[in-house]
């Protein structure tokens, strides 16, 4: 491309059919393109998600290899990806032998890739779901210092990181999605969705998102009746929106539909990310357990209630940033009581201008990081050395020698030692 300043790699779970995750590279691409950068998403398996408007990805190995994928910078996130947990519970990664390490590979591996390439690194407001151990903090601190700009999406995430570098808390970047897809441009996709499902165009929809964790242990028959009665009282048709395939959202929606016992719009097989966005943007009301479901509806001016069951930091974090803590409910009964008080919004987005301004500053700092490739070079190399020292200490000096050895010797080094009982006795 003529005039392109370089390619930025953005890492995340961008090869899974999860609505919110797949929006991050689309939003990032628009922002980076305005400054002349191209963008290539990085995901563990390097495959493409099952939506025509999702971006293709390269794998973590390509992120590490300049010959395979040139880059001028690396961007981490967003999403709930700053952790060291195994992702073996996801068949998509376990089957490829990635699950045990690819979670850390998306951010710690991205930091190493920036050090190996000697290119700038920035964080695109990812989330931190759980605390790190003292042992992990020893490497986490130099990883933070290696980045030219570190941001997380809520105060809870910031508190879980060491005070090794300046950490900026900014709203979730998806809050400015209408900048990419204005509501008027989604009208045709919404019309086609209603026609595909045989729903009259004048129907007002109650967008519902149920995740397995949000209804675990509940009497689903009673919950279905409560949602059905609420929708009828509000003059709305329920719309079950399944936004996360890896969380079994489509299966949960299909199973729960029988408990609603009323006409509904089932969106368990969305044709595109735009179609999901169109459905949320044109709903009359949102009640659900998806943070990005709530963020998107609020961005398009749809009043909503976020069901925090369980109560994650990311929920309260975003609502504090938008000045709407009253939209948080601890259970479905409370959510319906709050939702009954919501009135249709007449004034556009429910995301305040302060959030938009904060995200404008966020992207300006990311672009400034990529415009100064020499900054933090010493910190990047210090991180690489810290990682090398930790690996040698954990795996032994033979691990460091393995790349130099011939093939047979390498196999001997990699082979596990025979059990002690198999050793011959010495005279």
Quote the pLDDT of residue 205. Answer: 97
Task: Give the pLDDT band (50/70/90) at residue 409.
Answer: low
Instruction: Work out the number of other CB atoms within 10 angstroms of the CB of residue 155.
Output: 14
Do the first three CATH levels of 6-169+358-386 and 176-351 match, i.e. the same topology? yes
Taking 50 as the threshold, does the pLDDT of residue 137 lie above it? yes
Is residue 207 within 8 A of residue 188, CB to CB? The reply is no
What 211-214 contacts at long range (C-beta under 8 Å, 24+ apart), as own/partner pairs, is 211/244, 211/247, 211/249, 211/252, 211/289, 211/290, 212/247, 212/248, 212/252, 213/289, 213/309, 213/310, 214/288, 214/289, 214/307, 214/309, 214/332
Question: For residue 76, which phi and psi values (nearest 5 degrees)?
Answer: -100, 120
As a whole number, mean pLDDT of residues 390-406 equals: 91
Percent of the chain surpassing pLDDT 70: 94
Q: What is the largest CA-CA distance in the chain?
A: 92
Task: Work out the pLDDT band at 310, boundaries 50, 70, 90.
Answer: confident
Q: Which of 119, 287, 318 is nearest to 208 (CA)?
A: 287
* Domain at 176-351: CATH code: 3.40.50.2000
Please, are residues 139 and 164 in contact by the beta-carbon 8 Å criterion? no
pTM equals: 0.92
Strands (E), 44-156: 73-76, 121-123, 150-152
108 in Cβ contact with 81 (< 8 Å)? no
Domain boundaries, the chain: 6-169+358-386, 176-351
> Is 23:177 a contact under the CB 8 Å cutoff?
yes
Which pLDDT does position 343 carry in this prediction?
84
CA distance 279 to 192: 10
Buried b (16+ CB within 10 A) or exposed e, 270-287: beebbbbbbbbbbbbbbb
SS3 content of the chain, % helix, strand, coil (to 5): 50, 10, 40
User: What is residue 415's predicted lDDT score, i.e. its pLDDT?
Assistant: 56
Measured between alpha carbons, how far is 363 from 110 in angstroms, rounded to an integer?
Answer: 19
Higher pLDDT, 93 or 208: 208
Average pLDDT in the chain? 92
The pair of three-digit structure tokens given for residue 7, joined into one six-digit string = 């390619």
CB 313 within 8 A of CB 325: no
Tokens, residue 256: 């729960």
First to last CA, the chain: 74
Residue 402 in tokens: 């393995």
Q: Sorting pLDDT into bands at 50, 70 and 90, what band is 89?
A: confident
The pair of three-digit structure tokens given for residue 134, joined into one six-digit string: 């003292």
Q: What is the pLDDT of residue 61?
A: 96
Q: Is the pLDDT of residue 3 over 80?
A: no
CA angle 417, 423, 426 (to 5 degrees): 140
> Quick one: three-class SS letters along 145-207?
HHCCEEEECCHHHHHCCCCCCCEEECCCHHHHHHHHCCHHHHHHHHHHHHHHHCCCCCCCEEE
Cα–Cα distance for residue pair 105/111, rounded to 1 Å: 9
Tell me: domain 6-169+358-386, CATH 3.30.70, correct? Answer: no
Q: What is the pLDDT, as a whole number, of residue 247?
A: 80
């Amino acid at each position: 491309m003529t005039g392109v300043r370089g390619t930025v790699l953005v890492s995340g779970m961008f090869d899974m059919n999860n609505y919110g995750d797949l929006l991050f590279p689309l939003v990032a691409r628009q922002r980076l393109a305005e400054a002349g950068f191209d963008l290539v998403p990085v995901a563990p398996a390097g495959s493409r998600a099952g939506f025509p408007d999702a971006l293709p990805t390269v794998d973590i190995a390509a992120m590490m290899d300049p010959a395979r994928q040139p880059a001028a910078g690396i961007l981490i996130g967003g999403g709930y990806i700053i952790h060291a947990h195994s992702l073996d519970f996801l068949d998509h990664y376990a089957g490829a032998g990635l699950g045990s390490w690819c979670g850390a590979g998306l951010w710690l591996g991205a930091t190493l890739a920036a050090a190996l390439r000697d290119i700038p690194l920035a964080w695109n407001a990812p989330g931190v779901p759980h605390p790190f151990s003292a042992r992990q903090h020893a490497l986490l601190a130099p990883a933070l210092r290696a980045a030219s700009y570190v941001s997380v999406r809520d105060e809870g995430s910031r508190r879980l990181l060491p005070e090794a570098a300046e950490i900026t808390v900014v709203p979730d970047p998806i809050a400015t999605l209408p900048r990419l897809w204005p509501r008027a441009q989604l009208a045709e996709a919404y019309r086609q969705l209603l026609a595909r499902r045989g729903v009259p165009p004048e129907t007002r929809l109650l967008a519902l998102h149920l995740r397995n964790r949000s209804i675990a242990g509940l009497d689903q028959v009673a919950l279905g009746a409560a949602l059905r009665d609420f929708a009828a009282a509000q003059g709305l048709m329920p719309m079950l929106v399944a936004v996360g395939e890896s969380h079994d959202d489509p299966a949960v929606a299909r199973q729960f539909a029988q408990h609603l016992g009323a006409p509904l719009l089932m969106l368990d097989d969305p044709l595109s990310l735009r179609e999901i966005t169109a459905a949320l943007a044109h709903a009359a009301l949102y009640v659900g357990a998806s943070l990005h479901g709530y963020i998107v509806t609020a961005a398009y001016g749809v009043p909503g209630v976020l069901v925090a069951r369980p109560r994650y930091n990311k929920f309260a974090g975003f609502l504090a940033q938008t000045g709407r803590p009253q939209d948080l409910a601890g259970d479905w009964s409370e959510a319906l009581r709050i939702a009954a008080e919501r009135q249709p919004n007449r004034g556009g987005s429910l995301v305040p201008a302060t959030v938009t301004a904060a995200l404008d500053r966020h992207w300006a700092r990311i672009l400034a990081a990529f415009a100064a490739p020499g900054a933090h070079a010493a910190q990047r190399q210090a991180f690489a050395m810290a990682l090398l020292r930790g690996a040698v200490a954990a795996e032994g000096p033979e691990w460091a020698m393995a790349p130099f050895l011939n093939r047979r010797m390498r196999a001997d080094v990699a082979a596990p030692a025979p059990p002690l009982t198999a050793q011959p006795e010495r005279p």
